Amino acid sequence: MRPTSRKLITVVILSVFIILACAYSLIAPTFEGPDENVHYRYVKSLLDSTLPRSEYLRSPPLYYAMAAGLLYFINHPEKIEVTPRTKKRKGINRFRHRHEEIFPFSGTARAVHLLRLLSVVTGFFTLLVFYRIYRLVFADSPALTLTALSISAFLPKFTWMNSVMNNDSLVWLLSALAIYFLIRFVQTENQIKYLACSGFVTGLAIYTKVNALVIPFSVILFIFYYRKFALKSLLREGGVFCALTFIGGGWYLFHRIYLGINPDNLHFTSIFKLFTNASTAASIKYVDTATGFSRLLNGDFLYQRLIQMCWSYLGWHNITGPVFYDYIYSAVLVLALTGLVASIFRHSDNKQIIPDKHIRVFFIIMAIAMTVAMLVYMYENGSGDARYMFPALPAFVVLLLEGLSFYLNKQWKWLLAFLPVLMLLNNMALVKNMAKSYKHGFRKLMITEELRTTSSMYESPVKKVVIICMPFAAMSYPNTAIMLHTATG
């Protein structure tokens, strides 16, 4: 493939990602992204200097500090109203929405959409780092590089989470940088500076979200393997990595431990929950793990949380796509897993697409470590989401392509491109479904809540004025016209 063609396809992939992310961001009403209300309250507390100790212990503050800096010069009202959960509530939205959410946004809606734009930009840079990772891994195959990049860009949950306000987007960027520097360390005559950079960025990732704690464990295990289990090399290089990790995120870890553990409840469960659970860390007690253990034995629950949530269950897990995508993805994953196992044990060079076996081992270690950590989290909390494993997304994507390539000869490798095309179609179906759902759930509820505050709006003269003004409103703000039509019937 010519360099010009490769660059053009890369630009197209990134452009389509931005379009999809912006579409999700504009369609989804304020706070209808997962935990957006919690993230906004954290940012607002930082701006107002009213952050309580329990909220500080809840999540690492790096993302929120960046978001607060972005909103520093913006007027952001504090009030957040939650839609009452009643049986008569129409639509799928969880919050009360008002006119400030009509484009161009104002007030709280403007602040939230600005932070959503920050997520889109962060996702764009994450894909740029992914591209560099895949170029290092598939050095001899530009086609595989672009296939891996398009799978990452069009994975529905990745695209969706990079369109709403959350700290996942930043931790994915920092985790990708950590992986990139580690691969550079392996491929450039073991220059220690790359390992140091990987450690520092890993610390920043931990300072953003605690699921990045899997990275240092994976790196230490890999160094132990890479140095052929030499303890001296492990102490030297692992020490450099851990020292830089502590510089990047040690301040938060120290405060988390110092402020968050009750000495009377110092046991493994409390320590693990300290870094994983969203509840107040200072009041940790022994955990009833019966629910979590029973769910680990529930195949449907594991399939939904670990796999299906990669391409479905957007919004507050209430937006789904066509069911037949589930069957196709499931078949692809089964083929990829069996092909990966076969390629590992058969040692067939013509079936392996990763030239460097050390990188393959690192990706396998990281994927297993992230999966085990997710299962432990589900055991401790009885819940989970596939996006928590996305700091290891490059590892999962590369191993997925490795497994599928086992069944294809070199001249048939182009068939792997069907997967990103399928994901793109899935995204389009999800965007359509989301627009349809929130058209009836968000707009109708918003206008009725606004109009009910003033009884005179329902009087006949006012109604006539509204109807007369509707054509003029449609020319400038189509959404307003639709909502007025819905309200006036």
As a whole number, mean pLDDT of residues 343-362 equals 76
pLDDT band at 127 (very low <50, low <70, confident <90, very high): very high
Q: What are phi and psi of 29, to 5 degrees?
A: -65, 165
Confirm if 355 and 139 have CB atoms less than 8 A apart: yes
Evaluate whether residue 449 is within a structural domain. no
Instruction: Give me the count of residues in the chain.
Output: 489
Domain span at 334:
3-443
Residue bearing tokens 């912006």: 22
CA dihedral defined by 335, 339, 341, 346, rounded to 10 degrees? 160
Percent of the chain with pLDDT over 90: 35
Least confident of 32-41, 281-290, 297-306, 323-332: 281-290
pTM of the complete model beyond 0.85: no
DSSP letter at 91? S
User: Which of 52-66, 163-177, 256-270 is predicted least confidently?
Assistant: 256-270
Residue type, position 335, single letter = L
Angstrom CA distances, 255 to 57, 60, 273, 389, stand at 8, 10, 15, 25
Whether 276 maps to a domain, the answer reads yes
pLDDT value for 448 = 46
Same structural domain, 344 and 228: yes
| pLDDT above 90: residue 183 | yes
Assess if residue 448 is contained within a domain: no
Q: Is position 274 within any domain?
A: yes
Q: Is 325 exposed, middle or buried (0-12, 13-18, 19+ CB in 10 A)?
A: buried
- Per-residue pLDDT, 123: 96
Residue 150 is inside which H or E element, if any?
A: helix 142-154
Which residue did the predictor score with more confidence, 16 or 439? 16
Q: Give yes or no: residues 113 and 143 share one domain.
A: yes
Buried b (16+ CB within 10 A) or exposed e, 214-253: bbbebbbbbbbebbeeeeeebeebbebbbebbbebbbebb
Say yes or no: 474 and 337 in one domain.
no
User: Which pLDDT belongs to residue 85?
Assistant: 44
**For residues 26 and 19, what is the distance between their CA atoms, to the nearest angstrom?**
11
pLDDT at 152 over 90: yes
**Quick check: is 284 in a domain?**
yes
Local structure of residue 51 (DSSP, 8 states)? -
Question: Are 158 and 184 in the same domain?
Answer: yes
Is 348's pLDDT higher than 90? no
Residue-wise pLDDT for 76-88, tens only, equals: 655 555 444 444 4
Confidence of residue 103 (pLDDT cuts 50, 70, 90): confident
pLDDT band at 125 (very low <50, low <70, confident <90, very high): very high
Q: Are residues 362 and 471 in the same domain?
A: no
How far from the centroid of its chain's Cα atoms is residue 445's Cα?
Answer: 29
**Which pLDDT value is given to residue 256?**
63
Same domain as 338, residue 478:
no
The residue whose two tokens read 């170029």 is 135
Task: Considering only residues 98 and 299, tell me which one the structure prediction assigns the higher pLDDT.
Answer: 299
First vs last Cα of the chain: how many Å apart? 58
Among 34-38, 51-55, 105-109, 328-332, name the one with the lowest average pLDDT: 51-55
**pLDDT tens figures, 434-488:** 888 876 554 554 444 444 443 333 344 443 333 334 333 333 333 433 343 333 3
Return the pLDDT at 267.
36
Residues 172 and 210 in one domain: yes
- Nearest alpha carbon to residue 274 among 61, 58, 51, 35: 58
- Structurally, how many domains does the chain consist of? 2
Residues 436 and 477 in one domain: no
> What pLDDT score was predicted for residue 463?
39
Q: Are residues 469 and 432 in the same domain?
A: no
Give pLDDT, residue 126: 97
Residue 315 lies in a domain: yes
Residue 341 and residue 307 share a domain: yes
* Cis amide leading into 420 (omega within 30): no
Residue 99 within a domain: yes
Query: Which of these, 64, 68, 66, lies nearest to 56 by C-alpha position?
Result: 64
For residues 390 and 475, membership in a common domain is answered with no
* Average pLDDT value for residue range 239-259: 76
| Average pLDDT estimate for 279-286 | 35
Predicted local distance difference test score (pLDDT) of residue 378: 82
Query: What pLDDT digit, counting tens, does each position of 49-70 carry?
Result: 766 555 555 678 889 989 988 8
State which of 145-149, 320-324, 410-414 shows the largest mean pLDDT.
145-149
Per cent of the chain over pLDDT 70 is 73
Q: Please, where are the H alpha helices in 297-352?
A: 299-302, 324-346
What mean pLDDT is reported for the chain? 77
User: For residue 153, which of 434, 402, 393, 418 has the smallest C-alpha distance?
Assistant: 393
Residue 360, pLDDT > 50, answer yes
Within a domain: residue 116?
yes
Within its chain, how far is the Cα of 206 from the centroid?
A: 15
- Structure tokens that stand for 13 in this block: 């992939």
**Do 251 and 358 fall within a single domain?**
yes
